[in-house]
Amino acid sequence: ISRQLWWGHQIPAWYGPLLSNDIPDDGKFYNAKVFVAETEEEALEQAREYYNKHSDRSVAVEVTDGSEKLVESEGGIVNLVRIRRDEDVLDTWFSSALWPFSTLGWPEKTPELGRYYPTDVLVTGFDIIFFWVARMMMMGLHFMGDVPFRTVYVHALVRDEKGQKMSKSKGNVMDPLEITGKYGADALRFTLTAMAAQGRDIRLSEERIAGYRSFATKIWNATRYCEMNGCLNHDGFDPAQAAFIPNQWIIGEVAKAQAGIDKALAEYRFNDSAEAIYRFVYTFCDWYLEFTKPLLQENGPHTQEIRQTTAWVLHQILILLNPFMPFITEEIFAATAMGTEGERLINSDWPEYKLSAWPEADADMGWLMRTISEIRSVRKDRGVPDAAKIPLLVKDPAEAVRRRFKAYEEIVFRLARIETIEVVSAAPKGGILQTVVDDTMLILPVAGFIDIEKEKSNIEREIQKAEAEIAKIDKQLGNEKFVANAPAEIVDEQRSRRAELDSKRGKLTGARDQLG
């Protein structure tokens, strides 16, 4: 149970010379007398009793840093015994078992001990549950009469990108100091949080860390955009009073993001909490800022509210992101003077938004994002040049859809690269691409923007490739031995893949026929 370390609880044992008339007759060899005591004074008392019992005169005992020995006076009579304390410390796990209360001043009844024991959550790895966690429980119950914590969060092990344990011999160790120097502490911290799914080890790669460094860069760029457009001051702004629909929508999204983060943190699903703030930052940057960008230039009726909303949302992002990326958020918070002098996000209260989403704003902005995303996807799939502005035909839309296209046509024009929007009762024949958003058919006449025959040939090749893969899977699934002997998950995977390919083939066939 002993360890040769500089720290820890020194073994409470003192060694003295074993007297010749006290050697046990069990046949075992003993070279010292051991005195076990709580204090040095108790050990000295035990030693005095022992040596005086075997001597016809009084013997003094003292503790030495050297070797234990009998000191003889003139005439060969022993009048002094020196004992030595064991220099080793108790096993690390013994000392660690006392950690929840020994660090708080125990055995004295200190204010810290009264306030912080028991604590709430312990974070640890599964490989030391018995060595440490169980022992802390036992020691806490024995010495303090209560468990030291109520919840144990068992975190994942960090492995390399191939799932292998990191070791110097394999040469796959990632030095966090090197990684921090290359990508920043925030990028590494966010990566580990985003990958900390319960019950799954982390497969860490530089590629993932580099991706989250780009995320940090996006936040910097959004801040610069806000600064250049006068969107850093939200003094006197009441988000509950927002009147412009895109502003109502993004304010509601802040409340949703915070609710998602809170729920995930309460359930120790740290990866989900990171995903919630990550997704919201992209929603803010890629959609809200793009929706409102032109309106900031024209000084219209909503411009001031947009500026204040943008500033308020950026401030909330810094607050919500601070636990995940403390360095960049504190830096931006200080540089933009969003708080009072000397104020820090780490000392701020966690927000409690008394806000709920505006249903109309939610519905309108959700439709707008789906519409733009679908048009972009169809254009990209069929090779329509990014710079080309093309017409959009809308077949027999419902009244709500007509209203939305009228209200947000400028945003559709700009973000979907659309030139005109026209309502039609029938789709023209040939040279078109079709898609459906919420039961409304959208038609893109693309003749003159792409080579129709070349695109039809490309689609035909994709159809043939899909059919060849379907035939291969059908042959495999038609083999009774394969279905009977292969793992169930492999068979299910093949069936799912076939369904995906069949759906893809149907869409490709429809696209080919639409082109005429």
Domains of the chain, by residue range, sit at: 2-90, 92-190, 200-357, 361-450, 453-515
Q: How confident is the model at residue 516 (pLDDT cuts 50, 70, 90)?
A: low
Range with lowest mean pLDDT among 206-210, 347-351, 400-404: 347-351
Is 90 exceeded by the pLDDT of residue 453?
no
Q: How confident is the model at residue 161 (pLDDT cuts 50, 70, 90)?
A: confident
The secondary element (H helix, E strand) that includes residue 238 is none
Q: What pLDDT is recorded for position 152?
A: 95
Structurally, what CATH architecture does the domain formed by 453-515 represent?
Answer: Orthogonal Bundle (1.10)
Q: How confident is the model at residue 25 (pLDDT cuts 50, 70, 90)?
A: low
**% the chain with pLDDT above 90:** 55
Main-chain dihedrals φ then ψ at residue 389, nearest 5 degrees: -100, 120
Which residue is it, tokens 């024991």? 117
Q: What pLDDT is recorded for position 291?
A: 94
Strand partners of residue 165: 159
Q: What pLDDT is recorded for position 69?
A: 75
Give me the mean pLDDT over the 460-487 stretch: 87
Model confidence pLDDT, tens digit, residues 33-79: 899 999 999 999 999 999 888 777 788 899 988 777 777 666 667 78
Q: Any idea what the Cα angle at residue 194 is, between residues 189 and 200, rounded to 5°? A: 115
Is 60 exceeded by the pLDDT of residue 29?
no
Q: What pLDDT is recorded for position 427?
A: 78
DSSP character string of 42-76: HHHHHHHHHHHHT-SS--EEEE-SS--EEEE-TTS
Q: What pLDDT is recorded for position 314?
A: 96
Q: How confident is the model at residue 24 (pLDDT cuts 50, 70, 90)?
A: low
> Do residues 54 and 19 lie in contact, with contact meaning Cβ atoms separated by under 8 Å?
yes
Is 80 exceeded by the pLDDT of residue 408?
yes
Q: What pLDDT is recorded for position 452?
A: 72
Total-model pTM: 0.75
Q: What pLDDT is recorded for position 309?
A: 96
Give me the mean pLDDT over the 175-201 stretch: 92
> Do residues 186 and 326 lie in contact, with contact meaning Cβ atoms separated by under 8 Å?
yes
Q: What pLDDT is recorded for position 390?
A: 92
Q: Tell me the CATH number of domain 200-357, given options 3.40.50.1820, 1.10.3720.10, 1.10.730.10, 3.60.21.10.
A: 1.10.730.10
Residue 320 to residue 315: CA distance in whole angstroms: 9
Is 80 exceeded by the pLDDT of residue 360?
yes
Q: What pairing do the DSSP bridges indicate for beta strands 202-204 and 390-395? A: unpaired
